[in-house]
Amino acid sequence: MALRRFAFAFGTAFALCYAIAVGGQFALFTVFPSLGLILPGTVQSRDVADPALSFLAPAMYWYGWTATATLGALAAGVVSLAIPEVWTRWIWPGWLWAIPVAAMAACVYFTLPWFRL
Protein backbone atom coordinates (compact mmCIF):
# COMPACT_ATOMS: atom_id res chain seq x y z
CA MET A 1 0.00 0.00 0.00
CA ALA A 2 2.89 2.36 0.78
CA LEU A 3 4.39 1.67 -2.65
CA ARG A 4 1.06 2.44 -4.29
CA ARG A 5 0.74 5.70 -2.39
CA PHE A 6 4.31 6.74 -3.24
CA ALA A 7 3.95 5.85 -6.93
CA PHE A 8 0.65 7.66 -7.35
CA ALA A 9 1.86 10.76 -5.49
CA PHE A 10 5.08 10.70 -7.51
CA GLY A 11 3.27 10.50 -10.86
CA THR A 12 0.78 13.22 -10.04
CA ALA A 13 3.40 15.56 -8.57
CA PHE A 14 5.81 14.91 -11.41
CA ALA A 15 3.27 16.04 -14.00
CA LEU A 16 2.39 19.12 -11.95
CA CYS A 17 6.03 20.03 -11.25
CA TYR A 18 6.99 19.48 -14.88
CA ALA A 19 4.31 21.87 -16.12
CA ILE A 20 5.38 24.45 -13.52
CA ALA A 21 9.04 23.99 -14.46
CA VAL A 22 8.31 24.53 -18.16
CA GLY A 23 5.96 27.45 -17.57
CA GLY A 24 8.22 29.15 -15.04
CA GLN A 25 11.51 28.19 -16.74
CA PHE A 26 12.73 26.39 -13.63
CA ALA A 27 15.33 24.05 -15.08
CA LEU A 28 17.58 22.46 -12.46
CA PHE A 29 20.41 22.75 -14.96
CA THR A 30 20.98 23.83 -18.56
CA VAL A 31 22.88 21.77 -21.11
CA PHE A 32 24.97 23.41 -23.84
CA PRO A 33 25.72 20.45 -26.12
CA SER A 34 27.94 22.31 -28.57
CA LEU A 35 30.14 23.58 -25.73
CA GLY A 36 29.98 20.41 -23.64
CA LEU A 37 28.78 22.50 -20.71
CA ILE A 38 26.20 21.83 -18.01
CA LEU A 39 25.41 24.86 -15.89
CA PRO A 40 23.14 24.98 -12.84
CA GLY A 41 19.79 26.68 -13.19
CA THR A 42 18.18 28.20 -16.26
CA VAL A 43 20.90 29.85 -18.31
CA GLN A 44 20.28 31.63 -21.61
CA SER A 45 22.62 31.22 -24.58
CA ARG A 46 23.38 34.94 -24.53
CA ASP A 47 24.74 34.56 -21.00
CA VAL A 48 27.47 32.11 -22.05
CA ALA A 49 28.30 33.47 -25.50
CA ASP A 50 28.38 36.83 -27.20
CA PRO A 51 24.71 37.67 -28.04
CA ALA A 52 25.64 37.88 -31.73
CA LEU A 53 27.08 34.35 -31.55
CA SER A 54 24.55 32.81 -29.18
CA PHE A 55 23.18 30.64 -31.99
CA LEU A 56 26.48 28.73 -31.75
CA ALA A 57 25.69 27.75 -28.17
CA PRO A 58 22.12 26.44 -28.17
CA ALA A 59 20.75 25.85 -24.70
CA MET A 60 18.75 22.73 -23.76
CA TYR A 61 16.36 22.90 -20.84
CA TRP A 62 14.43 19.63 -21.22
CA TYR A 63 16.88 17.63 -19.10
CA GLY A 64 16.78 20.30 -16.41
CA TRP A 65 12.98 20.51 -16.40
CA THR A 66 12.77 16.74 -16.05
CA ALA A 67 15.27 16.82 -13.17
CA THR A 68 13.30 19.60 -11.45
CA ALA A 69 10.10 17.59 -11.77
CA THR A 70 11.83 14.47 -10.45
CA LEU A 71 12.98 16.30 -7.33
CA GLY A 72 9.51 17.73 -6.72
CA ALA A 73 7.89 14.36 -7.30
CA LEU A 74 10.31 12.60 -4.95
CA ALA A 75 9.49 15.13 -2.25
CA ALA A 76 5.76 14.62 -2.81
CA GLY A 77 6.20 10.85 -2.73
CA VAL A 78 8.04 10.98 0.58
CA VAL A 79 5.44 13.36 2.06
CA SER A 80 2.66 11.04 0.92
CA LEU A 81 4.17 8.24 3.00
CA ALA A 82 3.99 10.41 6.11
CA ILE A 83 0.33 11.35 5.67
CA PRO A 84 -2.11 9.28 7.75
CA GLU A 85 -4.10 6.92 5.56
CA VAL A 86 -7.38 8.36 6.83
CA TRP A 87 -6.54 11.67 5.16
CA THR A 88 -5.88 10.07 1.79
CA ARG A 89 -9.51 8.93 1.60
CA TRP A 90 -10.49 12.55 1.06
CA ILE A 91 -8.29 12.84 -2.01
CA TRP A 92 -10.11 12.28 -5.29
CA PRO A 93 -8.41 9.29 -6.97
CA GLY A 94 -9.04 10.80 -10.39
CA TRP A 95 -6.23 13.31 -9.80
CA LEU A 96 -3.84 10.58 -10.91
CA TRP A 97 -5.01 10.91 -14.50
CA ALA A 98 -6.58 14.38 -14.39
CA ILE A 99 -3.40 16.22 -13.34
CA PRO A 100 -1.16 14.60 -15.99
CA VAL A 101 -3.78 15.35 -18.65
CA ALA A 102 -4.00 18.95 -17.39
CA ALA A 103 -0.20 19.18 -17.38
CA MET A 104 -0.11 17.98 -20.97
CA ALA A 105 -2.71 20.61 -21.88
CA ALA A 106 -0.56 23.24 -20.14
CA CYS A 107 2.44 22.11 -22.19
CA VAL A 108 0.37 22.55 -25.34
CA TYR A 109 -0.34 26.11 -24.19
CA PHE A 110 3.36 26.78 -23.50
CA THR A 111 4.21 25.50 -26.98
CA LEU A 112 1.72 27.74 -28.81
CA PRO A 113 4.32 30.44 -29.62
CA TRP A 114 5.94 28.01 -32.08
CA PHE A 115 2.74 28.02 -34.12
CA ARG A 116 2.57 31.81 -34.29
CA LEU A 117 5.95 32.22 -35.96
| DSSP class of 60 | B
Q: How many residues are recorded in the chain? A: 117
4 binds another protein (CB under 8 A): yes
Q: Does 49 bind another protein (CB under 8 A)?
A: no
> Using CB under 8 A, which of 24, 46, 58, 83 touches another protein?
58
Q: How far is the CB of 53 from another protein (least distance, A)?
A: 13
Contact between 89 and another protein by CB under 8 A: the answer reads no
**Burial class for 102, CB neighbours closer than 10 Å (0-12, 13-18, 19+):** middle
Q: Which of 22, 28, 43, 49 binds another protein (CB under 8 A)?
A: 22
Q: Which is nearest to 58 in space by CA: 40, 42, 41, 44?
A: 44
CB of 35 to another protein, least distance (A): 10
Beta-carbon-side half-sphere exposure of residue 104 (alpha carbons within 13 Å): 5
The answer to whether 41 contacts another protein (rule: CB under 8 A) is no
Interface with another protein includes 14 (CB under 8 A)? yes
